[in-house]
Amino acid sequence: MTMKMTGGQILLDGLVKEGVDTIFGILGGAILPLYDTLPQFPQLHHVLVRHEQCAAHAAEGYARATGKVGVCFATSGPGATNLVTGIANAHLDSSPIVAITGQVARRFIGKDAFQEIDITGITLPITKHNYLVRDAASLAKILKEAFYIARTGRPGPVLVDVPKDVFNEQVEYHSPGKIDLTSYKTPLKGHPAQIQKAAALINGAQRPLIIAGRGVIISEASLELKELAERAQIPVVTTLLGLGSFPESHVLSYRWLGMHGMAYANMAVNTADLIIAIGMRFDDRATSEVNTFAPNASIIHIDIDPAEIGKNVRVDVPIVGDAKAVLTPLNKLVQPAQRMGWLQQLDEWRREHPSTDIRDSASVLPQYAIHQTYEATNGEATIVTGVGQNQMWAAQYYLYNRPNSFISSGGLGTMGFGLPASVGVKMGRPDLTVWCIDGDGSFQMTLHELATIVQEKLAIKIAIMNNGYLGMVRQWQELFHGKRYVATPLWGPDYVKLAEAYGIPGVRVRRREEVIPAIQQAMAYDGPFLIDFGIEPEENVYPIVPPGASLSEYLEIPEKEVAWQR
């Protein structure tokens, strides 16, 4: 039996069938008919954000915290273009979101009508796929395909652009059948011969090293990764977005590598005779100068996206497949081993170059504030960050022992990501303790989402590392541009009064002894809370690998001076 439904009803019914319960968005003229249909679907909760970019960031935060597809709505024209940064962020960080945009009525397309924009053309390079819906009869099938594409293989964003009159068009509804996209195949199982080659290299290696990326988290392969590491006694480092894929408190964890990673992790890469890269794309922030990356090592690369294999770094054994599906048979072929000499060497480097020591200071150090947040939360909070120095300090001074406990913008490096993404995280996982660690520059880009936090009654704790600068750029100006601070000094409002204006309590911290009480006060409060940490204005992030240098050449900060370490 068939029934007649409008395009709006078909779309919202399709969302319900896909398991969607939360939507982030802002309405406008072209998408108004869809919003007018929302009351018919009480299963769907709409979160009214204050800017469309934040709708996409919130959808991504929701997706990363829940493992489901995040959904955002925007109207045509500027509403759709405001989504672009958020879509690009999800694209580079492999996060599954479906963006639904309203479009001008079909008869106006191509006529430069009011608020018309070719959003499918604009987003073509930053989506896995996108659609311009031509009629309501095709909408159910398109929506089902969109979700299938977004969540399968290497996840990513899909955009569905719907003309206003399609929302109102009434057609006979037919439930879409099984998805069969002949041109879209997602390899899952790695080639058995390649897996055997990988096992042989692992069994014969003296100094193997695992580099785990976000792909391990996406494929839910953390247990398989742990089994491989423990069985063969292989040390593990992660990428920035791989934080939490392997417990950082584990004896085999050497934390994370790269531009601001641990010195001993970078030294391990430089000395290893075998790199086992799992679900990572050899981003330049992880590898630094690729010509000098892992000079003594053979490389095994496991990734579900064949386009990433050999793109940046030469690979000896490529394995295209899902990390979990590849590690399961690989673990059966890997022989138990003891590599005490290799592990002792890494432990010695860790003692010599601790990377995350915190010096004594009467003033507020961001490292100390974040470490005390770790202590107060027993390491069990989900940390959502902005981008810049705050992001690096949050990655360095909080230990991550479970997947998706560190949620940040990696590939695009989007300032302003933290606050709206924390909205999505808390909406998707209200059971989690969520801390948004932000910088004053990043926070000012999306601070209007404080209104969304209050409207949705979200108990998000916000810690602003307030140094009065665009801190990371200022650090580069100090170290590499003769300390010429051009356009980096940053005025900001009184953040405590600002929070109070939104109905959020806050506290100002300017001395070391105030740090712990402020964090405890935030934790004890049943609702959103803001802490303005007035940190050292010219505090830097160390270690740092200078641009153009290899991972083995990094700046670290001793007691008296900054010195090259080679």
CB burial of residue 270 (10 Å; 0-12, 13-18, 19+): middle
Q: 436 and 460 in contact (C-beta within 8 Å)?
A: yes
User: 38-52, 65-79, 183-197, 200-214: lowest mean pLDDT where?
Assistant: 183-197
- Distance between CA atoms of residues 505 and 501, nearest Å: 9
Residue 188's pLDDT is: 86
Q: 276 and 202 in contact (C-beta within 8 Å)?
A: yes
- pLDDT at 561 exceeding the cut of 80: no
Q: 49 and 414 in contact (C-beta within 8 Å)?
A: no
What structural domains and CATH numbers belong to the chain? 4-172 (3.40.50.970), 192-352 (3.40.50.1220), 366-534 (3.40.50.970)
Q: Which residues of 110-126 are buried (b: 16+ CB within 10 A; e: fewer)?
A: eeebebbbebbebbeeb
173: three-class secondary structure by DSSP:
strand
- Sheet harboring 70-74: ordered strands across? 45-48, 22-25, 70-74, 97-103, 158-163, 129-132
Q: Name the helix (H) or strand (E) containing 54.
A: helix 52-66
pLDDT in tens, 57-89: 999 999 999 999 999 999 999 999 999 999 999
Ramachandran assignment for 369, one of left (phi > 0), alpha (psi -120 to 50 degrees), beta (any other):
alpha
Residue 487's pLDDT is: 98
- Six-digit token string for 55: 């709708």
Tell me the sheet residues that pair with 338.
Answer: none
Q: Sorting pLDDT into bands at 50, 70 and 90, what band is 566?
A: very low
- pLDDT at 35 exceeding the cut of 60: yes
Residue 177's pLDDT is: 86
- Distance between CA atoms of residues 6 and 480, nearest Å: 59
pLDDT in tens, 461-520: 999 999 999 999 999 999 999 999 999 999 999 999 999 999 999 999 999 999 999 999
Mean per-residue pLDDT, 279-287:
96
Mean pLDDT of the chain: 96
What percent of the chain is predicted at pLDDT more than 70? 98
Q: How far is CA 364 from the centre of its chain?
A: 28
Q: 99 and 158 in contact (C-beta within 8 Å)?
A: yes
Catalytic amino acids? 52, 114-115, 164, 472
For the chain, the straight-line distance linking the first and the last C-alpha, in angstroms and rounded, comes to 73
- Give phi and psi for 511, each to the nearest 5: -130, 150
Q: Name the helix (H) or strand (E) containing 95.
A: none
pLDDT in tens, 334-378: 999 999 999 999 999 999 999 999 999 999 999 999 999 999 999
- Distance between CA atoms of residues 277 and 148, nearest Å: 27
Residues 6+ apart with CB under 8 A from 194: 317, 318, 319
Q: 97 and 155 in contact (C-beta within 8 Å)?
A: no
- pLDDT at 231 exceeding the cut of 60: yes
Mean per-residue pLDDT, 309-326:
97
- Distance between CA atoms of residues 112 and 118, nearest Å: 10
Mean per-residue pLDDT, 88-108:
98
Residue 153 amino acid letter? G
- Dihedral over alpha carbons 102, 107, 109, 114 (to 10 degrees): -70
Which candidate, 46, 40, 30, places its Cα nearest to that of 10? 40
Distances 9 to 15, 79, 179, 526, 539 between C-alpha atoms, Å:
10, 22, 21, 38, 54
Instruction: Give the global pTM.
Output: 0.97
- Distance between CA atoms of residues 309 and 302, nearest Å: 8
529: three-class secondary structure by DSSP:
strand
Q: Name the helix (H) or strand (E) containing 36.
A: helix 32-37
Q: Sorting pLDDT into bands at 50, 70 and 90, what band is 560?
A: very low
- Six-digit token string for 430: 């209200």
Residue 563's pLDDT is: 36
- Distance between CA atoms of residues 421 and 410, nearest Å: 13
Residue 1's pLDDT is: 52
